[in-house]
Structure 1
Amino acid sequence: MSIFPNSKRGEVAFEIDGKTHKLCLTLGALAALETAFATENIQQLGAKLSVVSAQDILVVLAILLDAGGNHFSVDELSKAHIDAKSAALAIAQTFEAAF
């Protein structure tokens, strides 16, 4: 698997513990986010994600990483070296790339 993100697929590069991984917002990832945040549609999900906790960011990262072909549990991510500002930026870029 290539570590270089495919911008045509909406992939975004993200570094965890010094290694580059890919984030991607697929339809399956969107459905997983709706389930994880107990929302019924994209509009409700957007409202829920307008104010997030650190735990919420870890959940979103885990789902977007999985869609990008990199499985990490929320627990694994909570123990990893992740820059919070970079995480928020990468998540925003992933959503922007998908829409």
Structure 2
Amino acid sequence: MVLPLVDLCSREVVRDHGSSPSWLLVPRELYDALLRAALSARRPLAVGQLVQRWPSRRLRVADRRTGGPDPPDRLCVQALLLAVVRGLDDPR
């Protein structure tokens, strides 16, 4: 399987947690790829930070048509849910 360049770059960005403050400058089109990379790399802190900064009202974790080889990690799902709940409390 050949991964698109966006997915490869997203994996590298998510791998380095020190670069997370620069995610504020990421175009909104890349958030899906970053979330997929964070879920597949099992990075709960990255998942939480991405969801808190999510640029739209719609959040899709997995594509039903393609799915993924592994289900998301339990800690990543917990981080995602916590970030969503925090976002519901946020007046923004």
- Report if TM-score (shorter chain) is over 0.5: no
- Specify which structure has the higher proportion of helix: 2
- More strand by percentage: 1
TM-score, L = length of structure 1: 0.31
The normalised TM-score by structure 2 is: 0.32
